[in-house]
Amino acid sequence: MKKLLILGNNTHVDELIKYAKERGVYTIVTDNLPFEQSPFKALADEAWDISVLDIDVLVEKCKAEDISAVLCGASEICIKANKDLCEKLNLPFYANQKAWDITNDKLQFKEACLECGINVPEKYYLDKELKAEDIAKINYPVVVKPTDGCSSIGLHICSNEEELKAGYLDAYEKSPSHKVVVEDFIKGEQVGFIYGIIGGVPHLVISGDDSAYKNNAERRVFGATPTKHNDLFEKDLKDKVDKLVSYLEIKDGVIGVQTIFDGQKFVTIEMNYRLPGGKIPGEKFLCDLMLDYALGENTNPTVEAQASQAFSYALWLKPGKITEIKGIDILQSEPQKYHVQLFRHVGDNVEDNSGMRQILGFIMFFTDISHHAESIDYINNTVHVYDENGNDMVCRYKFVDGYAEDAC
């Protein structure tokens, strides 16, 4: 029997376990959390209490247990550990080195896009010295972010010199390589495209439009699938993405291309080379192709057309320590209406300005933009998260004219 080790307690791990078990694969989950704080351990056939960062310990354990394959969900930390572990064990890992390096460096990725004819924001040169002559060349607003960051940590939209300097220094400190991107802020709607790659052939799985909080463009709140800009995508971007996949020599895996539609064209801002950060329609196809590659199998997974429109709501939290979560169980009791994906749990400390780590979770419901308001109101009235002082930590929003606004 093949044995699959899955790293961490993150998005898609439950689905990977489910579909691996359907193949008759023995599943193991490992992380450094106790059993009660790592719920996916209960779904697997076996659980280890070894941190994904203890690579040498895991190598020896994997050899002793005759592990056949290693996978993980959407966690950036787990993906790096997945790659390192597979290399040491001589097991398959989906990403080639060229694509791995370029997709994990926003500056290199911009250059790759330009080679393939893909629009990207104009970039500016700036270093930690923040020289006056460099700052004088900048047209505001600009986006400042680590070249190798994730989850919007260290990302700032700056409208003046004071914000730029503060944002640059914060991004610099939060970049593992101390490298920072400064580029034009593109005003518009964020549009994403998720592909599964099999044998070098890209298969579009899902597209979607994201809506930001009106008072903070860094905070993405609502999403709708499929995108309403599909015609323009087919005309102006599809072939260029195919070219980018070829340029990066990507043969297998999952990519997510993030763009901004500025009213006339798509401007690409970055690409993830991993399973998506949230659950989506079409997830089985993505998990099956990742399992196929890791296990050396071929189940011929196929993309199924999305049956209906779907809407998602990211529940952002105010800073504090979570002491109670109420209402999620009510939504979970109606799986035909709501799909719940939790990131945060009781006991977690939520820090301010921590990017997507301030999100309690995603609530997906199957409707369209014109019929979403009733579901959003129901979620707002049902879900409550309390801190140590009894304060409700949930930031509640409503969807108005393409943006998220505060719900009264």
Q: Which residue has the tokens 């549009």?
A: 191
Nearest partner of 317 among 358, 370, 377, 367, judged by Cα: 358
| DSSP 8-state class, residue 170 | H
List residues bridging with 158 in a β-sheet.
142
pLDDT of residue 151: 61
Domain residue ranges in the chain: 3-95, 122-184, 310-406
Q: Into which CATH architecture does domain 3-95 fall?
A: 3-Layer(aba) Sandwich (3.40)
pLDDT tens, 344-388? 889 999 998 787 889 999 998 887 666 788 999 999 999 999 999
Return the closest-CA partner of residue 328 out of 344, 312, 310. 344
**Residue-level pLDDT at 146:** 87
* Strand partners of residue 404: 213, 399
Taking 50 as the pLDDT cut, the residues of the chain under it are none
Would you state the pLDDT for residue 306?
67
Q: What is the dihedral of CA 178, 184, 187, 189, to 10 degrees?
A: -50
| CA distance readout (Å), 312 to 3, 16, 278, 325, 339 | 34, 22, 10, 19, 9
Strand segments, DSSP code E, in 87-200 are 123-124, 142-146, 156-158, 180-184, 189-198
On the question of a common fold for 3-95 and 122-184, the answer reads no
227-237 burial, b if ≥16 CB within 10 A, otherwise e? bbbeebbeebb
Does domain 122-184 fall under CATH 3.40.190.10? My reply is no
Write down the pTM of the prediction.
Answer: 0.86
- Beta strands at 26-30 and 3-7: parallel, antiparallel or unpaired: parallel
